[in-house]
Amino acid sequence: MASATVTEVLQRKPKNFAIQTNPAHDLHLIEADVPEPGPSECLVHVRATGICGSDVHFWKHGAIGPMVVCGENGLGHESAGVVIKTGKDVTRFKVGDRVALECGIPCSKATCYYCRTGQYNACPDVVFFSTPPYHGTLRRYHAHPEAWLHHLPDNLSYEEGSLLEPLSVALAGIDRSGLRMGTPLVICGAGPIGLVTLLAAHAAGAAPIVITDLDENRLAKAKSLVPRVRSVLVGRGVESADLGKKIVDTLGEEARLVIECTGVESSIHAGIYASAFGGAVFVIGVGKDFQNIPFMHLSSKEIDLRFQYRYHDTYPKAISLVTEGLIDLKPLVTHRFKLEEGVEAFGVASNPAARAIKVQIIDE
Ligand SMILES: NC(=O)c1ccc[n+]([C@@H]2O[C@H](COP(=O)([O-])OP(=O)(O)OC[C@H]3O[C@@H](n4cnc5c(N)ncnc54)[C@H](O)[C@@H]3O)[C@@H](O)[C@H]2O)c1
Ligand SMILES: OC[C@H](O)C(O)[C@@H](O)CO
Ligand SMILES: [Zn+2]
Ligand SMILES: [Zn+2]
């Protein structure tokens, strides 16, 4: 089937709607200009975007650590779409190509130590779409550098393409955590990040695996994704050391590795108390700027406390794992909205009673 030209797409859908927030926490739909792609950019019709916890956080709280919403700020960084126009120097993509968007655009200069050495998630000049002051990709039309687009294989939907972003977060953490086949693993938190971590750790052969959450529905979701996972329902107000013991009892041994996916202090503590001598607690979750740690417990058990910040070089791996059938991301999407219903979609994503896992905004 011939690909639609930019003119045809724009005739059918002329308005470039986008979802923005601002320092007054006013989430709204705006109509942006349709951007003209630069010489090495592609204009993408964004077909699926997942709402990330950080999008909700920027809306509700106006900041994540040092990243502060200072003006009108477009949201969204979990996106996939189709190329509808290419800049004159673009060589790897043509109109009609289906793509996943990697949304952190580093400076890529040889003078940048982190870009030169491949740790481009640490580039001080990175433009991360949706992190202030940069607009996100939760919009119909978005111009994206071709270097940071990835071809979507035919057997991956746009929804799966957008889920490559949270999967990237999990893969980056798993890679640096040193997880091996047979590693006894605890995952704290069964939100989208904990669940993609579960899927990836299962594929990587971690065993046994325990997952924790405060919410029974999320634990049930974990079980439906990976039936062999064992779960611990976290009761509010339970002492972290007691919870750590319960996790160890459920795992059947002390954890060699804990992947923490909540960023909540008490959960990090429970992970620490569940760890074996020489184990590691690897924190993906983000939370309060200052947190206490059980210092002497960590010290006397030589437990490593480590962190993950975004990802680098994960998209090709994520695509292979999904296209080859090792990881099935589809069951994570529980709610779908049209772009015009974006504000309502955020209402669902931010309301625990809605029992959403991943809310996506779809533009046909
Ligand atoms: N490091 C990074 O680069 C990176 C990237 C993306 C997301 N994140 C962070 O990862 C975290 C998880 O993201 P998400 O989208 O899954 O968020 P989410 O809020 O949907 O999920 C968090 C889950 O943790 C559970 N939880 C809360 N307190 C708990 C406790 N004390 N014990 C056990 N479970 C508890 C919640 O019930 C929820 O199911 C967030 O902090 C997010 O900001 C970090
Ligand atoms: O998935 C990527 C994350 O949401 C971002 O790093 C965000 O937490 C801050 O920009
Ligand atoms: Zn995110
Ligand atoms: Zn750089």
- Cα of 285 to ligand 1 centre, how many Å? 5
Q: What is the pLDDT of residue 299?
A: 98
Q: What is the pLDDT of residue 193?
A: 98
Q: Could you tell me which residues come within 8 angstroms of residue 323 by beta carbon, excluding any fewer than 6 positions away? A: 153, 155, 156
Q: What is the pLDDT of residue 94?
A: 97
Q: What is the pLDDT of residue 1?
A: 54
- Cα of 310 to ligand 2 centre, how many Å? 6
Ligand 1 pocket test, pick from 196, 259, 262 with the greatest ligand atom count within 8 Å of Cβ, gives: 262
**Strands 209-213 and 230-233: what pairing?**
parallel
Ligand 1 pocket test, pick from 128, 247, 261 with the greatest ligand atom count within 8 Å of Cβ, gives: 261
**Strands 333-338 and 141-145: what pairing?**
unpaired
Nearest residue to 149 (alpha-carbon basis) of 7, 55, 56, 37: 37
Dist. CA 223–CA 211, nearest whole Å: 9
Kindly give the confidence (pLDDT) of every residue in the chain, 364 residues in length, as a single tens digit, with 9 standing for 90 and above. Answer: 568 888 899 999 999 999 999 999 999 999 999 999 999 999 999 999 999 999 999 999 999 989 999 999 999 999 999 999 999 999 999 999 999 999 999 999 999 999 999 999 999 999 999 999 999 999 999 999 999 999 999 999 999 999 999 999 999 999 999 999 999 999 999 999 999 999 999 999 999 999 999 999 999 999 999 999 999 999 999 999 999 999 999 999 999 999 999 999 999 999 999 999 999 999 999 999 999 999 999 999 999 999 999 999 999 999 999 999 999 999 999 999 999 999 999 999 999 999 999 999 999 9
User: If you ran DSSP here, which 8-state letter would residue 228 be given?
Assistant: T
Dist. CA 46–CA 241, nearest whole Å: 46
Domains of the chain in sequence order: 6-152+329-362 (3.90.180.10), 170-307 (3.40.50.720)
User: If you ran DSSP here, which 8-state letter would residue 351 be given?
Assistant: -
Q: What is the pLDDT of residue 2?
A: 67
Check: CB of residue 74 under 8 Å from CB of residue 18.
yes
Q: Whose CA is nearest to atom 10 of ligand 2?
A: 131
Whats the size of the chain, residue-wise? Answer: 364
Nearest residue to 251 (alpha-carbon basis) of 221, 271, 235: 271
Q: What is the largest CA-CA distance in the chain?
A: 66
